[in-house]
Amino acid sequence: MFDFEKLWQVTVNLTQGLGQNAIIFSVTLVLALPFGMVVTFGLMSKVSPVRRACKTLVWAVRGTPLMLQLFIVMYGPGLIFDTPFRSRMLAALIAFVINYSMYFAEIYRGALENIPKGQFEAGKVLGLSKTQVFFHIILFQVIKRITAPIGNEVITLVKDTSLARVIAVQEMLMQAQRYMQAGLIWPLFYSLVFYLAATALLTLLFGHLERRIAYAAGE
């Protein structure tokens, strides 16, 4: 006979773990999206040292696993400066924000570089400042170009939040693994329901957003 009491207990514990995933997801998006734009301006800067520094940072972050970056942020300060992180969640947030900022920066850069330069020149001819050209002419085209790749990264972020368990953040998958260590394996598969629900919701959301943008563009 199925144990509904156990199902309820597992659901409560997984939901508590899901709250940790949600914190990582939300804070990463709120901070990484704007910080990625700052890095993009650095990548496109005419100041050579700034441009090279940003390119090196993006290369280093994108060229190494997020799991390794979590270990570096969590344990690096303790090994180098003898001041270890006391908050595992804070370490996870820093690693996630830095990692996703670099990916968003490359998406922004690609979108901006694909805008025909003639549009910038046309704006100047009309007497618009660089800021006005960006907000009145360029911004909507950039949003149109980045919606799909940003959506893919956001969906990936949902799944990547589970990596926080490697530095012992009490997220959902870690809660499920504890049941597995106790000889109960089905909670691990049960956690799939939460991930699938989140990714399905985001897929629908970004699909709707893409259709709205296409409609606004007259497509």
The CATH number linked to 29 is: 1.10.3720.10
Q: Determine contact, residues 153/115, Cβ cutoff 8 Å.
A: no
Mean per-residue pLDDT of the chain: 91
Q: Which domain holds residue 46?
A: 4-216
Average pLDDT over residues 183-197: 93
Q: Is residue 219 pLDDT above 80, yes or no?
A: no
Q: What is the pLDDT of residue 65?
A: 97
* Three-state DSSP class for residue 109: helix
Distance CA 202, CA 183 (A): 33
**What pLDDT, in 10s, does the model give residues 82-91?**
887 889 999 9
Average pLDDT over residues 5-16: 92
**What pLDDT, in 10s, does the model give residues 124-172?**
777 777 778 877 778 888 888 999 999 999 999 999 999 999 999 999 9
Q: Determine contact, residues 106/62, Cβ cutoff 8 Å.
A: yes
Number of Cβ atoms within 10 Å of the Cβ of 22? 15
Quote the percentage of the chain above a pLDDT of 90.
69
Count how many domains the chain has. Answer: 1
Cα 161 to chain center, whole Å? 9
Q: Is residue 21 pLDDT above 60, yes or no?
A: yes
